Amino acid sequence: MLKKLDGYVIKTFFGPFLFIFSVLFFIFVVNIIWIRLAQFTGKGLSYWEILKLLSYLSAIVVQFVLPLTILLSSIMTFGDFGERYELAAMKAAGISLTRVMTPLFIVTVGFSILLFFFSNNVIPDFQRKAKNMLYNIAATKPALNFTPGQFIQQIPGYTVKFDKITGENGENLEGVFIHRMANSFEDQQSIVAQKGKFVPAANPNYLKLVLFNGHIFEDQLSSMDYPQRLKQPDQQIKFDTLVSHFNISEIINKAIEQEKITDDYSFQNFLELNKTIATTKKDNERIFTNINDELITQTNSYVTYIDKTKPKAAPVPLPKTDTVKVQKKHEMLFSAYNKIETLKQGNNFKQEQIKDLHAYFSRVVLYQQRIFAYSVTCLIFFLIGSSLGSIIRKGGIGLPVVIAIVIFIIFYVLNLSVENLAWAGKMDPYLAAWLPNLVLFPFGVWLTYKALTDSQVFDIEKYKALFKPIIEKFSKNKEHSRYR
């Protein structure tokens, strides 16, 4: 009988689980598409390439979707049991709530282990593939969104206009106009062509453009004085075919910088991150020591010497500002002021450098600890969801969804808050990674205790009776009008 009951409980759980996971995963993927939309459009990517890139980018959302799905599914499952009086029937048959929760708890433990291995092995690999694919898109298909009939300055140093753009990847051009942006003392150049075509270049840092049937208009004005420039005739060169290369490394580097492709810690698993954390900590200590020594040296260049040696003769007394001339006094004060300002500016720069180093160290630690922390979150959310469902005894997607969303928002806000505190150096990153779980775990244990003891947590009348003496103390009894 108990085996049939376990199968029934698990079967009831997996129905809403699959539906909720699909819906939430779709919502998170749509959010990724919205954020990355500019990187998909205008690149000539095929549907297969876009789908593959989305699959790589969406792998990390499983860390959020799975715990939230377990929370929602457990609330709805036990809420349905309570609403259909199945929990009451189970308890009447001598089956405790703990026994009913046991098979789903085992399933949740399995999901937690699965999420750990997914976060530890699959997500780093998908992160590497996504970053490499984004790099290849930036390198081979840079963000040059040309609009026909409009002057565009996306190519560094040039203004271009194409009357018509055709082709599967927008490689065929008609009515080409290219003007090199230069000041009045530099050589001027404009190119006009009837047709053109983008061709892959051997060097990905350059954009290769082949032009047909056009003219080059040049004015050689550099290193010439004004009278010579007035006498300089316009030069017009006719061509049948012209091959031009435009340096787009700035665009590629900007795209790579935005993707932070150098943050390779996201490509590593839990054990590899231990080595990265140790190396980063050692490098930070060395940099902090150098910064400390540099600041001390700038503040007082004699500190090291004084610490190691004793003066043989009495030091020469410093001159007092009251005994020197006014001009000399001003020079001394101005020199001291400049030195103090230089030290302050150097100190501010060093503080920013220290913050950046600590922020990077915190990001690595948070990324590593959350590989395991999110797995534990699944268990905590199951305790909260199953207990709430058995207490409120309401199934469906109404009240349970509202309660689950509120709990997840609290968890998400805590996650972001402690993350920002850790990056700013105001909280230990290890504590920041586990603090949301430490906050929600006592709440889950308390709810589980209330559910096992059949406590009416959401009984409004109970809370009214609790606050009734306080309300009566501060409220006046109103007499009936006929007794006045």
What pLDDT sits at residue 260?
Answer: 46
The model's confidence at residue 462, banded by pLDDT at 50, 70 and 90, is low
Structure tokens at 442: 């006592």
Mean residue pLDDT of the chain comes to 77
One-letter amino acid at 162 equals F
Is the per-residue pLDDT at 302 higher than 50?
no
| Closest CA relative to residue 254, chosen from 357, 146, 134, 360 | 134
Does the pLDDT at position 456 exceed 90? no
Buried b vs exposed e over 431-466: b needs ≥16 C-beta within 10 Å? ebbbbbbeebbeebeebbebbeeeeeeeeeeeeeee
383 contacts: CB under 8 Å, gap ≥ 6: 444, 445, 447, 448
Q: What is the rounded average pLDDT of the residues 94-100?
A: 84
Does residue 111 carry a pLDDT above 90? yes
The 10s digit of each residue's pLDDT in 243-268 is 888 877 766 655 544 444 445 788 88
Sequence letter at residue 11: K
Instruction: Enumerate residues 6+ apart whose C-beta is below 8 A from 44.
Output: 141, 168, 169, 170
- 114 pLDDT band, cuts 50/70/90, is very high
Least-confidence region, from 60-69, 174-183, 307-316, 388-397: 307-316
User: Residue 42 is encoded by which pair of tokens?
Assistant: 């205008």
Measure the CA–CA gap between 178 and 198, rounded to whole angstroms: 14
pLDDT tens-digit readout, 259-292: 444 457 888 888 888 888 888 888 878 887 777 7
For 70-119, list the strands marked E by DSSP.
Answer: none
Pairing mode, if any, of strands 158-166 and 188-199? unpaired
Give the span between the Cα atoms of 362 and 349, in whole angstroms: 20
Q: Residue 109's pLDDT is what?
A: 94
pLDDT band at 157 (very low <50, low <70, confident <90, very high): confident
- What residue type is assigned to position 96 of the chain? S
Higher pLDDT among residues 67 and 459, named by residue: 67
In angstroms, the CA 478 to CA 471 distance is: 14
pLDDT band at 326 (very low <50, low <70, confident <90, very high): low
**Structure tokens that stand for 56 in this block:** 């790589």
CA distance 276 to 279: 5
The pair of structure tokens assigned to 1 is 């009988």
In this prediction, residue 374 carries a pLDDT of 92
Q: Are 329 and 321 in contact (CB under 8 A)?
A: yes
Q: How many whole angstroms separate alpha carbon 26 and alpha carbon 18? A: 12
Q: Which residues contact 380 (CB under 8 A, 6 or more apart)?
A: 437, 440, 441, 444
- Percent of the chain whose pLDDT exceeds 70: 71
The span from the CA of 174 to the CA of 167, in Å, is 11
DSSP per position, 307-321 = HH---SSPPPPPPPG
- Mean pLDDT lowest among 105-109, 203-207, 221-225: 221-225
Check: pTM over 0.75? Answer yes or no: no
CA 413 to chain centre: 14
Determine the Cα–Cα distance for residues 272 and 100; give it in Å rounded to an integer: 40
Mean pLDDT, rounded, for 222-247: 73
Q: What single-letter DSSP state applies at residue 152?
A: B
Please check the confidence at residue 216 and state whether its pLDDT lies above 90. no
Q: What is the mean pLDDT of residues 359-381?
A: 90
Please give the span between the terminal C-alpha atoms of the chain, in angstroms, as a whole number: 70
Q: Which residues 6+ apart lie within 8 Å of 299 measured at CB?
A: 343
**Does the pLDDT value for residue 293 go beyond 80?**
no
H or E segment and range at residue 246: strand 235-247
The backbone torsions φ and ψ at residue 136, rounded to the nearest 5 degrees and listed phi first, read -65, -35
Residue 305 in this model has a pLDDT that exceeds 70: no
